Structure 1
Amino acid sequence: MIPQATVQCQDLARFVVDVLTARDVPANDAQLTARSLIQADQRGIHSHGTLRLPLYSEALRLGGINPTPSMRFTQGAAGVATLDADAALGQVAMQAAVDRVLELAGSQGIAAVAVHNSSHYGAGAFWSDQLGAAGLLSIITSSTGPVVAPHGGSTKVLGTNPLTLGAPSADGWPLTADLATSNGAYGKVIAAKNEGTSLPEGWAVDADGRPTTDPVAAAEGSMIPFGGHKGSAVAVLLEAFAASLTGATFAFETVDIWSNPASRMNNGHLIVGIDSAAFGGSDHTRSRVATLQQQVRDSGSGDRTVQSPGDPEHFRQSASMETITLAGSTVRQLAQLAEDLSLTPVPSHS
């Protein structure tokens, strides 16, 4: 295992922006993407953090991601819109979609935006937090590349098909569930492969359908849905929600940029926002959600601590506002990226 290293958040943010602007991404879009990736690292979701930057850079270089997209909204029924993201960075497409959900929900009480021709959008809570701050409950999902076999199968049909649910709260931060519908995020397979570590049991099968903890074999084989046949059913339905409303491709129709960075993946995203102000009122919803959060936290016995959904990530972020500890392999890859692009590398110490 390569030793971990600690970096200053501001140095890392500067570097991410430098890399993306070197690939012709406009400064505002680069800064948005940097905030998304770094927040994921701060929250300990390294599979969706700066580990992804070399992949984004290569996809931008080869055309899999369009640095200067001409995105186009099409308005549907009241409260509904679709967005053709023109192969944009997923963060750029999602910010436009979230902004439109906020606009439409403010007048309609509920809104949905379906996105196609997009790419990986980072951690879903980055988007649900924005909606929660405005008093919206949210449901967010996305299609991805093909990495998951349905329950009982051995062929990669599905993506990791993330599901993010968020509700605004009066108690510090939103109530949030942000998860892949595979037993682990695919980025964690890449991280384990880079670090030379093993996967947890039950995450993957090899190309012959045999259980494996080897990330190399897992990448050649398939991830496994969480929750057996029930989790598999959720993953299948989320694929339908994310990709059937627009011209987005299903995972089994997609060439992942992990396999070919020149591929325009045509990911689909769906964002649904429910404005609490249109129901019992925003203050009422925030208060009720805070009551639920605290009841969950108080459910332990003795000195046993119970955390409400979203608590671990926010606690980690609050402890990592100045510095982040990254995997050694990520630091090494960022250093190689700096060399390739003739940029100042991120200072770090072990």
Structure 2
Amino acid sequence: MSASTLFDVPGLVRLASQVLAAHGVPEADALLTARSLVQADQRGIYSHGLLRLPLYAEALRLGGINAAPSMTWTRDTGSVAALDADAALGQVAMQAAVDHVLERGAAHGIAAVAVSNSSHYGAGAFWSDQLAAAGFLTVLTSTTGPVVAPHGGIEKVLGTNPLTLGAPSAGEWPLTADLATSSGAYGKVIAARNEGTQLPEGWAVDSEGRPTTDPVAAAEGSMIPFGGHKGSAVAVLLEAFAASLTDATYAFETVDIWSNPASRMNNGHLLIGLDTAAFGGREHTQTRVQTLQERVRGSGPGGRPVLAPGDPERLREQEHAATVSLPTSTADQLAELAARLGLDPIQPVPTSAATSSERTQR
């Protein structure tokens, strides 16, 4: 991250909630969404944090996102359900899906919810964490707007098609993998464009299919899947999983709100939860998962520690429990948004209040 500004976490949650409420979002939904965005920033996932708040606000203003949706369960057979989210904020749709999986999974041992007519739901671990806390294994994926070319192609056929896997642990936090199946999150392309920085090599091609590190050229061209043909295969299958069970649109059928905030994207999500109590028991699974976590952490050369999946984000969140640094471009956008809505801007925390780790990152 380049130049940044330090803010207190409660103030950011309050401002984000107020911005959403000013666009007609009910208080509880606004708070939920704000917490999702701010936690992403605390964990260093700036592509899914408050960078997106101005986009959400504009989509709410223009109708691409429905502030007060009438969500409908179009199918409910016990352990399997389908939810039409009525163009809701993705966080609102996902909380309904999580609550449903928790209830039905406890009754049946496994539950799945396919969501259609939704939008961006933020970082996937925000949802898998809730399920892990209740002893559930989680599989979660989603469609997005069209930004990724399949391996060997140059057309934007796929989305970033995130995959979140979560397993409860007897340790301090769950074992979690939360990743885009593109080489990087599209929000990081937007962040690089806003910051005037370059992308890592191997992330994107321009409109002619030539490798590029220029975020502007990447936005006009395509991102590419991680892992060559294998990653591309995973991305294609996740697209099918997220959209084919309902009337959700594939990425290549979608107009992204990044391009047109008035677009109702009709994103599809698929959430699957397995209640470990129905198998070997929650305590058994949590202990076994912790064993794997610790074995991974202890596998470094010369006794040097290795980070297990999910560790980097959790450690950063601990360091930023009270304050978090935002890219200056994001801070400026938040200030402009607050001024436009007549809200009190959040004041930066003096640099002297930053922790040593925060000052280093700044």
TM-score tier, shorter chain, comes to over 0.9
Q: Deviations over 1:38-61 (max 9, x none)?
A: 110000001000000000000000
Q: How many residues end up aligned between the 2 structures?
A: 350
Shift of the alpha carbon at 1:188? Answer: 0.2
TM superposition score normalised by structure 1: 0.99
Between stretches 74-83 and 187-196, larger displacement belongs to 74-83
Corresponding residue number in structure 2 for 1:178 = 178
Question: How far off its partner does 1:3 sit?
Answer: 2.7
Residue 153 of structure 2 is matched in structure 1 by: 153
**Matching residue of 1:291:** 291
* C-alpha contact 2:40 2:46 (8 A) present in aligned 1: yes
CA distance in 1, matches of 2:340, 2:291: 51
Distance 1:329 1:289 in 2: 40
Shift of 1:340: 1.2
Deviates more, 1:300-309 or 1:110-119: 300-309
Match in the other structure for 2:335 = 335
Letter in 2 for 1:284: H
In structure 1, what is the equivalent of residue 44 of structure 2? 44
Aligned residue identity for 1:222? S
Contact 2:298 2:304 in 1 (8 A): no
Q: Distance in 1 between matches of 2:224 and 2:268?
A: 21
In the other structure, the counterpart of 1:25 is 25
- How far, CA to CA, are the matches of 1:234 and 1:52 in structure 2? 26
The answer as to 2:224 corresponding to 1:231 is no
Segments of 4+ moved more than 6 angstroms: none
| In 2, Cα distance between equivalents of 1:39 and 1:181 | 21
* Equivalent residues of 2:9, 2:323 under 8 A apart: yes
Letter paired with 1:90? G
SS of residue matched to 2:216: helix
Equivalent residue for 2:16?
Answer: 16
Q: Deviations over 1:95-117 (max 9, x none)?
A: 00000000110110000000000
**Pairwise CA distance, 1:2:** 6.8
Which residue of structure 2 aligns with residue 187 of structure 1? 187
**Cα deviation 1:255-289 (Å, max 9, x = unaligned):** 00000000000000000000000000000000000
| DSSP 3-state at the match of 1:137 | strand
Q: Structure 1 regions of 5+ residues with no counterpart?
A: none
Instruction: For residues 18-48 of structure 1, give each alpha carbon's deviation from its aligned partner in whole angstroms, at most 9, with x where no partner exists.
Output: 1000000000000000110011000000100
Name the CA distance, whole Å, in 1 between partners of 2:328 and 2:126: 25
The equivalent residue for 2:34 is 34
- State the alpha-carbon separation in 2 of the partners of residues 14 and 77 from structure 1: 39
State the 1:303 CA deviation.
4.7
* Local SS of the residue matching 2:272: strand
1:301-316 correspondence runs (5 A): 301-316=301-316
Distance 1:30 1:203 in 2: 33
Answer yes or no: is 1:210 the counterpart of 2:210: yes
1:142-199: CA deviation from partner (whole Å, max 9, x where unpaired): 0000000000000000000000000000001000000000000000000000000000
CA contact (8 A) 2:162 2:178 kept: yes
Q: Deviations over 1:289-335 (max 9, x none)?
A: 00000000000111532010000100000000100000000001101
Query: What displacement does 1:62 show?
Result: 0.2
Deviation at 1:345, TM superposition (A): 1.0
Which amino acid letter does the alignment assign opposite residue 201 of structure 1? E
With structure 2 as the length reference, what TM-score do the two structures score? 0.95
User: Which one-letter code corresponds to 2:47 in the other structure?
Assistant: S
Shift of 1:346: 1.5
Q: Which residue of 1 aligns with 2:360?
A: none
| Aligned position for 2:83 | 83
Distance 2:81 2:108 in 1: 13
Code of the residue aligned with 1:238 in structure 2: it is L
Partner of 1:7: 7
Q: Which residue does the alignment assign to 2:112?
A: 112
Residue 271 of structure 2 corresponds to residue 267 of structure 1: no
Q: Secondary structure at the match of 1:78?
A: coil
2:354 matched to which residue of 1?
none
AA aligned to 2:10 is Q
